[in-house]
């Protein structure tokens, strides 16, 4: 796949500004271009992430990842120097684009597939991203470890899974008063889906704070990002063992 010309990058940066209110500076733009080059090269051999064109990678993955920053701004939440965890990150999304835009974040990437962890580690080195840590483990197991449980200021999850198990796995990682931001399509974030998650939220001591829906150029679907706030300590029995949250949702 060939690279994108300057006009394509300029149009993308203009979209980020108009849709999410974010200014992509010169340093960040250079890092995004380096990430684009590294990912397209690795993807030819290892199929780390799905995209059919450079434009789809730019908008469906890079741009979509940054929607959480607008959500944090809408909530009036501090976004500086946070301790952030990205679970089920795959090839580093949304964590890598967010880390580029928020270099002060301490970012932990959690992914169970080794080749994807190898890519994230390599990309972080190539982009000179400080305080970027990669953990090759399942999130359900990690959340039961003292050094990872209830220590993060913000959780990001763009993994493809239903809302109830996603909430169960996510909430234990964050401090009381902190947010878990979950990326969905508009079709999978319906009032009915949110209602089904009510019991999970009650059990895990969390509540929906806010969300917003947006469009991505070249995509038929609309996308939604949701912020859940933890209001009390999550019982130690959650998350349950790997596979249980999906098979027996709360």
> Residue range 180-197: average pLDDT?
90
Instruction: Find all residues with CB under 8 Å of 227, minimum gap 6, and list them.
Output: 71, 72, 75, 179, 180, 181, 208, 209, 210, 211
Share of the chain above pLDDT 90, in %: 83
Query: Which pLDDT score is estimated for 22?
Result: 96
pLDDT at 2 over 70: no
Instruction: Please write the tens of the pLDDT for every residue from 111-155.
Output: 999 999 999 999 999 999 999 999 999 999 999 999 999 999 999
Check residue 11 and report its DSSP letter.
H
Architecture of domain 6-233+243-247: 3-Layer(aba) Sandwich (3.40)
Share of the chain above pLDDT 70, in %: 99
Token output for 66: 């940054």
User: Can you give the residue ranges of every domain in the chain?
Assistant: 6-233+243-247
Token output for 139: 């999130």
Alpha carbons 81 and 83: distance in angstroms, whole number: 7
- CA dihedral over 120, 142, 85, 220, signed as positive or negative: positive
pLDDT at 76 over 90: no
Instruction: Find all residues with CB under 8 Å of 199, minimum gap 6, and list them.
Output: 250
Token output for 95: 């964590």
pLDDT at 37 over 80: yes
Instruction: Please write the tens of the pLDDT for every residue from 155-169.
Output: 999 977 789 999 999
Query: Which pLDDT score is estimated for 191?
Result: 86
> Residue range 219-224: average pLDDT?
91
Identify the CA nearest to 228 among candidates 186, 170, 187, 188: 170
pLDDT at 6 over 80: yes
């Amino acid at each position: 796949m060939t690279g994108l010309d300057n006009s394509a990058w300029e149009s993308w940066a203009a979209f980020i500004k108009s849709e999410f209110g974010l200014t992509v500076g010169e340093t960040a733009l250079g890092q995004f271009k380096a990430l684009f080059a590294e990912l397209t090269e690795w993807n030819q051999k290892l199929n780390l992430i799905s995209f059919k064109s450079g434009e789809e990678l730019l908008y469906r993955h890079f741009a979509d990842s940054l929607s959480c920053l607008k959500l944090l701004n809408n909530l009036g939440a501090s976004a500086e120097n946070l301790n952030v965890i990205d679970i089920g990150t795959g090839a580093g999304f949304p964590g890598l684009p967010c880390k580029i835009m928020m270099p002060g974040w301490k970012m932990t990437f959690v992914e169970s597939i080794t080749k994807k962890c190898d890519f994230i580690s390599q990309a972080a080195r190539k982009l000179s991203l400080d305080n970027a840590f990669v953990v090759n483990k399942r999130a359900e197991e990690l959340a039961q470890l003292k050094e990872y449980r209830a220590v993060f200021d913000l959780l990001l999850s763009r993994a493809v899974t239903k809302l109830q198990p996603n909430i169960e796995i996510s909430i234990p990682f964050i401090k009381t008063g902190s947010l878990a931001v979950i990326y969905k399509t508009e079709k999978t974030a319906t009032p009915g889906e949110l209602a089904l998650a009510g019991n999970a939220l009650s059990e895990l001591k969390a509540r929906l704070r806010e969300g917003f829906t947006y469009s991505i150029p070249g995509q038929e679907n609309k996308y939604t990002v949701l912020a859940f706030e933890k209001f009390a300590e999550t019982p130690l029995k959650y998350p349950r063992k790997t596979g249980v949250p999906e098979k027996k949702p709360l």
